[in-house]
Chains A and B, each alone.
Chain A
Amino acid sequence: MGRTLAEKVWEAHVVRHGDGAEPDLLYIDLHLLHEVTSPQAFDGLRLAGRGLRRVDLTIATEDHNVPTVDIDQPIADLVSRTQVDTLRANCKEFGVRLHPMGDAEQGIVHVVGPQLGLTQPGMTVVCGDSHTSTHGAFGALAFGIGTSEVEHVMATQTLPLRPFKTMAVTVDGELREGVTAKDVILAVIAQIGTGGGQGYVLEYRGAAIEALSMEARMTVCNMSIEAGARAGMIAPDDVTFEYLKGRPHASVGAEWDAAVEYWKTLRTDDDAVFDAEVRIDASALTPFVTWGTNPGQGLPLSASVPDPEAIGDDNERVAAEKALTYMGLAPGTPLRDISVDTVFLGSCTNGRIEDLRAAAAVLRGHRVADGVRMLVVPGSMRVRAQAESEGLHEIFLAAGAEWRQAGCSMCLGMNPDQLKPGERSASTSNRNFEGRQGKGGRTHLVSPLVAAATAVRGTLSSPDDLA
Chain B
Amino acid sequence: MDAFTTHTGVGVPLRRSNVDTDQIIPAVYLKRVTRTGFEDGLFAAWRNDENFILNQGPFQAGSVLVAGPDFGTGSSREHAVWALMDYGFRVVISSRFADIFRGNSGKQGLVAAEVEQSDVELLWKLLENEPGTEVSVDLEAKTVRAKDFTAAFRIDDYTRWRLLEGLDDIALTLRHADRIDEFEARRQPWLPTTDPLPTS
Contacts and interface: CB of A to CB of B under 8 A. Distances in A.
A251 B77 contact: no
Interface stretch (B53-61, B83-91, B155-163): B155-163
Contact of B192 (A118, A198, A316): A118
Contacts, number: 211
B133 interface: no
Chain A to chain B: the 10 pairs with minimum beta-carbon distance, closest first:
A148-B107, A146-B104, A146-B78, A39-B33, A21-B157, A144-B76, A251-B190, A255-B190, A79-B31, A147-B78
Interface in B52-86: 68-70, 73-79, 81
A130 B99 CA distance: 11
B22 to A, nearest CB: 4
Interface in A241-281: 248-251, 255-256, 258-259, 262
Interface stretch (B3-11, B134-142, B143-151, B166-174): B166-174
Nearest to A15: B183
A155 interface: yes
Given A57-B194, A156-B173, A230 B179 contact: no
B122 interface: no
A55 to B, nearest CB: 8
A413 B28 contact: yes
Contact of B69 (A53, A130, A262, A315): A315
A152 interface: yes
A249 B31 CA distance: 32
Nearest to A412: B27
Contacts of B81: 146
A203 interface: no
A98 B87 CA distance: 34
Interface string A145-160: 1111101100111101
Contacts of B30: 36, 64, 414
B169 A148 contact: yes
Contacts of B20: 294, 431, 433
A388 B45 CA distance: 40
Given A40-B33, A40-B35, A146-B76, A439 B99 contact: no
Give the residue among A105, A318, A433 with the most B Cβ atoms within 10 A.
Answer: A433
A16 interface: yes
Contacts of A294: 18, 20, 73
A315 B68 contact: yes
A29 B26 CA distance: 31
Given A128-B76, A195-B70, 9 more contacts: A30-B194, A58-B194, A83-B32, A118-B192, A132-B76, A249-B197, A250-B192, A319-B17, A431-B20
A199 B77 contact: no
Contacts of B27: 64, 412-414, 436
B158 A228 contact: no
Contact of B96 (A198, A318, A431): A198
A120 B172 CA distance: 30
Interface residues of A, number: 86
B99 A436 contact: no
B179 A146 contact: no
Contacts of B98: 195, 198, 228
Contacts of A148: 78, 104, 107-108, 169
Contact of B78 (A23, A37, A412, A434): A37
Contact of B33 (A83, A151, A230, A256): A83
Given A162-B156, A249-B197, A434 B22 contact: yes
Interface of A: 15-16, 18, 21-23, 25, 27, 29-30, 36-37, 39-40, 43, 48, 50, 53, 55-59, 64-65, 77, 79-80, 82-83, 86, 97, 105, 117-118, 120, 123, 128-130, 132, 144-149, 151-152, 155-158, 160, 162, 194-195, 198-199, 225, 228, 230, 248-251, 255-256, 258-259, 262, 294, 315-316, 318-319, 322, 412-414, 431, 433-436, 439
Contacts of A65: 31
Looking at A65, A105, A149, A151, the one whose CB has the most chain B CB atoms below 10 A away is A149
A152 B33 contact: no
B144 to A, nearest CB: 20
A315 B189 contact: no
B48 to A, nearest CB: 9
A343 B134 CA distance: 48
Contacts of A55: 194
Interface centre among B28, B32, B76, B156 (most CB of A within 10 A): B76
Contact of A25 (B15, B176, B187): B176
8 contacts: A40-B33, A50-B170, A65-B31, A79-B32, A155-B173, A157-B180, A412-B22, A434-B22
Contact of B100 (A23, A57, A145): A145
A262 B188 CA distance: 10
Nearest to B171: A48
A230 B100 contact: yes
A156 B174 contact: yes
B130 interface: no
Contacts of B50: none
A30 B77 contact: no
